[in-house]
Amino acid sequence: MTKKVQTRKRHSEEFKAEVLRLAGNMGATKAAKQLGIHPSQIYQWRSAADKKANTSERESDLATENARLKRQLAEREDELLLLKKATTTLKDTVREKPKVERFQFMNDNRELLTVTTMAKALGVSRGGYYQWLTSQNQLSPRKQAQVARDLKVQEAFEQSKQRNGARRIQAELSDQGHHHNIKTIGNSMKRQDLVAKAARKFRVTTDSDHNLSISPNLLARNFSADKANQKWAGDITYLYTSEGWLYLAVIIDLYSRAVIGWSMSSRMTATLVCDALQMALWRRGFPERVILHSDRGSQYCSTAYRELIDQHQLRQSMSRKGNCWESLPREALWV
């Protein structure tokens, strides 16, 4: 007789955080008993969370100090670069030149270096530079051309709904009779902080190409409910976060359209939907005979998900393959 190998169940970080919050309110022992897990597991999660928090704080302090030192180093390098360039351009001791020449030099190089750095290196004040700049009643022909070009670039960028980059804007302006180098267009966009929106990458969240068992459609497009905990619906989507693309599984109550359970992970596995259902059951007091509707994705047809449904005496329901009309309440959640 073959001995069944028991695999260790994995829980998402959102589920662990919810368990720790519950343990903080009612105690680890009571929370573990209610959720059907061992108290030692809660203690392990709590210890790991504390260690992670302490590590993150130290890393944040080190990153802040590192950024400060890098900023100081960059300022020193800018000052050396400026003094070298100024010495070559002005042909004499920099601080002995008239302030007007130094101000003009600052104005010619303000796209390369900050005003503060140049003022400090050239021995003038920032206020004096800005006062001199204000006193210039008329823009130079070069500056006037730059302003006009920036306006055309900004207009083309807005007309594309902020989707086009420098190359497409260059082609569009060229069709209008305004021919500019690609680097000129790129510098104009950079100067105006115009960044094209990245196209959203499509990711599949429903894998219905499998041989797993399919549950009947108990809803039959009847998405109304007379009371809470009568009909639930589950779905999966994806979100872009600071950690990259993550999958989000939710459970909503069709009576109130409220999200009652959720879970997030970098992988679209059965654990993702199981953790979302576990949260919904716990938050609603473990009701029975609830119709739980979803699509035919492999996660919802998995053994782990079905066992969880049977354990809490729920009624599983699935929409027909490729029929969006039977998923309206779930799809409307992401709009």
Question: For the chain, how many structural domains are there in total?
Answer: 2
Determine the Cα–Cα distance for residues 134 and 120; give it in Å rounded to an integer: 20
Q: What is the mean pLDDT of each run of 10 residues along the chain (335 residues)?
A: 57 76 74 73 78 72 75 70 59 61 82 79 83 70 83 88 87 88 90 76 52 79 86 86 82 90 88 92 92 86 90 87 54 49
- The pLDDT of residue 335 is 43
Other beta carbons within 10 angstroms of residue 291's beta carbon come to 18
Q: What is the CATH number of the domain that holds 279?
A: 3.30.420.10
Residue 302 and residue 254 in contact, taking contact as beta carbons nearer than 8 Å:
no
- The pLDDT of residue 78 is 66
- The pLDDT of residue 134 is 77
- The pLDDT of residue 91 is 45
246 and 325 belong to one structural domain? yes
Instruction: Establish if 96 belongs to a structural domain.
Output: no
- The pLDDT of residue 275 is 93
Q: How far is CA 70 from the centre of its chain?
A: 26
3-state secondary structure of 293: strand
- DSSP secondary structure string, 4-58? PPPPPP---HHHHHHHHHHHHHH-HHHHHHHHT--HHHHHHHHHHHHHHHHHHHH
pTM, two decimal places: 0.39
- The pLDDT of residue 287 is 92
Q: Which residue segment(s) compose the domain that 244 sits in?
A: 231-332
- The pLDDT of residue 296 is 83
181 and 236 belong to one structural domain? no
- The pLDDT of residue 288 is 92
Tokens representing 326 are: 């039977």
End of a domain among 191, 223, 254? 191
* Helix pair angle (126-135, 115-122), 10° resolution: 110
178 and 248 belong to one structural domain? no
243 and 296 belong to one structural domain? yes
Buried b / exposed e over 110-133, threshold 16 CB at 10 Å, is eeebeeebbbbbbebeeeebeebe
- The pLDDT of residue 139 is 66
Determine the Cα–Cα distance for residues 145 and 166; give it in Å rounded to an integer: 18
Q: What are phi and psi of 89, to 5 degrees?
A: -80, -45
- DSSP secondary structure string, 82-138? HHHHHHHHH-S-GGGS-HHHHHHHHHHTTTTS-HHHHHHHHT--HHHHHHHHHH--S
Tokens representing 96 are: 């002995």
Instruction: Establish if 304 belongs to a structural domain.
Output: yes
187 and 243 belong to one structural domain? no
- Burial degree of 315 (CB within 10 A; 0-12, 13-18, 19+): middle
